[in-house]
Amino acid sequence: MGSDNTKPGSEGAGKPDGNSKLEGSDNAFHASLLSPDFLKESQQELAKVVWPTRQQLFSESVAILLMVVVAATLVYLLDALFGWLATRLFAV
């Protein structure tokens, strides 16, 4: 236990020991963004995406909005019900 550097107050506590795989990964990430192939490969990947038609986008957006309205209404009604019950039960 004498070589444990994670104890509070020990020298080097909370610091990587230099053997971490993540050390230098930030530099590798920035280097990959600056590589000449990055934009080309990104464009190729975006070309593989199946984009929705305008009609699909509209109908799915409407469905999501309706579900949000239904969920919000349900939460409001449950809140009103529990509020009414609380006033009935705890009325002095």
Render pLDDT for 58-68 as a digit per residue (tens, 0 to 9). 999 999 999 99
SS3 of the chain: helix, strand, coil, percent, to 5:
65, 0, 35
Contact 45, 51 (CB under 8 A): no
Measured between alpha carbons, how far is 76 from 3 in angstroms, rounded to an integer?
A: 58
23-65: per-residue pLDDT in tens?
Answer: 556 777 777 777 778 888 889 999 999 999 999 999 999 999 9
Residue of higher predicted confidence among 12 and 40: 40
List the structure tokens of 26.
Answer: 């930030």
For tokens 């990104």, the residue is: 42
Query: Whole-angstrom Cα distance, residue 17 to residue 15?
Result: 6
